[in-house]
């Protein structure tokens, strides 16, 4: 229940509730709601959203000029909004317009009334791979599955590129509505910390929520790790559906904190659960044990509620074992059984996630989306554990993002790589050389360092450095086929760059 507190008068508060209920009815009858004043058409509703750098209320005059019939504004700004609107439109005040937008979208699209199961995945690393594995697992049992994620938004018969990991609230509801029209049974959504903090998933009911891990990222936005963790926790303790399954990594310290506080929490991880249960309480646990781990794949034994089974997978790396366990835990909560897990042996992998660059030169080259210290640590640790002679790592750091993680990323590369190749990633508005300067101190103990601010040139240098038996990791962009440089988006693919480099140097 949301209160409308623009006045101390109880009468005004009740009137505000009644006005919003009336607006919900209009949305249910087809009223279009927008948050971009430039796109308003006559008769529509404009929601003045809170922002990190701009205020939605500053765009109310533009919405009125476009013919907005309804305005949703923060109740705290009543004194500022009322004189602007006067009698040109009906104003409804709400304590949190972002939450109001979710309720309006829910009323308009009726998605949550259509028996569509919804799985949300949050965490610093592993969201995309876990979503792909869950999709494969559920689809193998005959279910129709839709995915909203970092790579794209898709369901059977439809695919579009994803501009954001988690789109805006109205678009989410619209995409889910279109999924349901296509008879999708289960929707899987990657949910970023930004999206949770900004209430982009308002109005949705999740049947299951997954926390993969929490490591340093997005501190430029959240400020500190505890605030970042609290944003992730919103998926479990704030957004609706009572008693949804909270599937949480018990190997992660933040995961154990969340598991302790989550009434319907289910732990998953590798290793003995005895100590974990002592710390978090007697929660159900999906426990994994790695039977074998090679360059060709892995075998995992999984135990849950007294039953054990073994799966095979062509994926490599202990971090992928965690992703496989998370996916199995989701499947179990959605009614699958241990026999259904056998299909995981046929899961081929995810674009841009430790993806092999197939080539005619017999060179072992992988591209990976790793762009955080922890992700770089995991993928390099995986490759160093295999039977390669040397590891060569190409990496860069994104511009206009958390500067504190730049030397940490470099330090991770210095720890594992026999040859570190420092370059640019998406420099955005920053100078690539300045970003590289921030990262360089972390390479102080590197065995060998190559540098070039042009990413294609750096990749060519790395390929030229390769000797038989070496493995090359090109980290940071993964599936992305663009670079953002000085306000422009240009085409750039690490896979294409590697193949071009091979033709030039081999």
Per-residue confidence (pLDDT) for residue 413, from 0 to 100? 98
Per-residue confidence (pLDDT) for residue 52, from 0 to 100? 67
Identify the domain boundary among 282, 316, 346.
Answer: 346
Which residues of the chain carry a pLDDT beneath 70?
1-9, 11, 52, 218-219, 240, 295
For residues 61 and 182, state if they share a domain: no
For residues 414 and 490, state if they share a domain: yes
In which order are the strands placed within the sheet that holds 70-74?
Answer: 33-34, 45-47, 70-74, 90-94
Per-residue confidence (pLDDT) for residue 274, from 0 to 100? 78
Question: Can you tell me the distance from the alpha carbon of 46 to that of 91, in angstroms, rounded to the nearest whole number?
Answer: 10
CB-based contacts of 88-94 (< 8 A; 24+ apart in sequence): 88/64, 89/64, 90/19, 92/16, 92/19, 92/20, 92/23, 93/4, 93/6, 93/16, 94/2, 94/4, 94/16, 94/20
For residues 409 and 438, state if they share a domain: yes
Q: Is 1 a member of any domain?
A: no
Identify the domain boundary among 327, 346, 365.
Answer: 346
Domain count, the chain: 3
For residues 490 and 393, state if they share a domain: yes
CATH code where residue 320 lies: 3.40.1190.10
For residues 342 and 412, state if they share a domain: no
Q: Is 4 a member of any domain?
A: no
Task: Note whether 195 and 209 are within 8 A (CB).
Answer: no
Per-residue confidence (pLDDT) for residue 51, from 0 to 100? 76
Q: Is 462 a member of any domain?
A: yes
Closest to 476 measured CA to CA, from 367, 385, 402: 367
CA dihedral 182, 183, 188, 194 (to 10 degrees): 50
**What are the tokens at 179?**
């999924």
Per-residue confidence (pLDDT) for residue 3, from 0 to 100? 44
Q: Is 2 a member of any domain?
A: no
**Could you tell me if residue 478 is left (phi over 0), alpha (psi between -120 and 50 degrees) or otherwise beta?**
left
Q: Is 501 a member of any domain?
A: yes
For residues 152 and 98, state if they share a domain: no
For residues 475 and 384, state if they share a domain: yes
Per-residue confidence (pLDDT) for residue 437, from 0 to 100? 98
For residues 39 and 120, state if they share a domain: no
Question: Can you tell me the distance from the alpha carbon of 196 to that of 171, in angstroms, rounded to the nearest whole number?
Answer: 15
C-alpha distances in Å from residue 392, one per residue of 9, 329, 377, 415, 422: 67, 35, 14, 12, 11
Identify the domain boundary among 329, 346, 363.
Answer: 346
Q: Is 316 a member of any domain?
A: yes
Per-residue confidence (pLDDT) for residue 387, from 0 to 100? 81
Domain residues for 414?
A: 355-505
CATH code where residue 387 lies: 3.90.190.20
Q: Is 3 a member of any domain?
A: no
CATH code where residue 101 lies: 3.40.1390.10
For residues 282 and 317, state if they share a domain: yes
Task: Note whether 206 and 239 are within 8 A (CB).
Answer: yes
Per-residue confidence (pLDDT) for residue 163, from 0 to 100? 83
Place of tokens 């990323």: 409
For residues 283 and 136, state if they share a domain: yes
Per-residue confidence (pLDDT) for residue 137, from 0 to 100? 98
Place of tokens 């509505």: 177
pLDDT in tens, 250-299: 999 999 999 999 988 999 999 888 778 778 878 899 999 999 987 678 99
For residues 203 and 309, state if they share a domain: yes
For residues 210 and 311, state if they share a domain: yes
């Amino acid at each position: 229940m949301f209160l409308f507190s623009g006045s101390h008068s109880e009468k005004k508060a009740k009137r505000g509730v009644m006005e919003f209920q009336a607006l919900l009815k209009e949305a249910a009858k087809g009223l279009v709601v927008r948050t971009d004043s430039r796109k308003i058409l006559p008769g529509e509703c404009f929601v003045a959203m809170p922002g990190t750098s701009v205020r939605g209320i500053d765009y109310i005059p533009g919405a009125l000029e476009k013919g907005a019939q309804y305005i949703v504004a923060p109740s705290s700004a009543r004194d500022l909004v009322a004189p602007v609107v006067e009698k040109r439109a009906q104003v409804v005040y709400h304590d949190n317009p972002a939450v109001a937008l979710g309720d309006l979208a829910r009323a308009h699209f009726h998605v949550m009334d259509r028996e569509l199961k919804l799985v949300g995945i949050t965490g610093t690393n592993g969201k995309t791979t876990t979503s792909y594995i869950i999709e494969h697992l559920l689809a193998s049992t005959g279910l129709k599955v839709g995915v909203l994620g970092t790579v794209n938004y898709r369901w059977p018969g439809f695919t579009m590129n994803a501009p954001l990991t988690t789109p805006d609230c109205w678009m989410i509801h619209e995409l889910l509505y279109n999924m349901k029209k296509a008879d999708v049974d289960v929707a899987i959504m990657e949910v970023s910390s930004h999206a949770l903090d900004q209430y982009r998933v308002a109005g949705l009911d999740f049947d299951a929520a997954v926390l993969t891990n929490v490591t340093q990222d997005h501190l430029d936005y959240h400020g500190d790790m505890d605030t970042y963790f609290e944003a992730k926790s919103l998926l479990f303790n704030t957004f609706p559906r009572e008693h949804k399954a909270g599937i949480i990594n018990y190997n992660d310290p933040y995961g154990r904190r969340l598991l302790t506080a989550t009434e319907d929490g289910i732990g998953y991880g590798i290793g003995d659960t005895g100590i974990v249960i002592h710390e978090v309480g007697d929660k159900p646990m999906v426990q994994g044990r790695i039977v074998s781990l090679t360059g060709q794949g892995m075998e995992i034994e999984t135990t849950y509620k007294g039953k054990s089974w073994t799966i095979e997978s062509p994926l490599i790396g202990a971090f992928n074992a965690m992703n496989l366990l998370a996916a199995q835990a989701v499947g179990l909560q959605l009614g699958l059984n241990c026999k259904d897990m056998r299909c995981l042996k046929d899961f081929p992998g995810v674009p841009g996630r430790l993806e092999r660059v197939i080539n005619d030169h017999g060179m072992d080259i992988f591209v990976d989306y790793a762009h955080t210290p922890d992700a770089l640590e995991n993928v390099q640790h995986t490759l160093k554990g295999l039977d390669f002679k040397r590891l060569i790592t190409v990496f860069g750091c994104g511009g206009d993002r958390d500067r504190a993680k730049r030397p940490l990323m470099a330090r991770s590369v210095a720890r594992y790589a026999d040859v570190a190749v420092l370059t640019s990633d998406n420099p955005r508005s920053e100078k690539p050389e300045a970003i590289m300067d921030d990262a360089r101190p972390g390479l102080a103990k590197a065995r060998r360092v190559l540098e070039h601010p042009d990413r294609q040139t750096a990749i060519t240098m790395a390929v030229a450095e390769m000797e038989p038996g070496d493995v090359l990791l090109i980290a940071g962009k993964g599936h992305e086929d663009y670079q953002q440089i000085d306000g422009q988006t240009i085409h750039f693919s690490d896979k294409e760059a590697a193949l071009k480099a091979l033709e030039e140097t081999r």
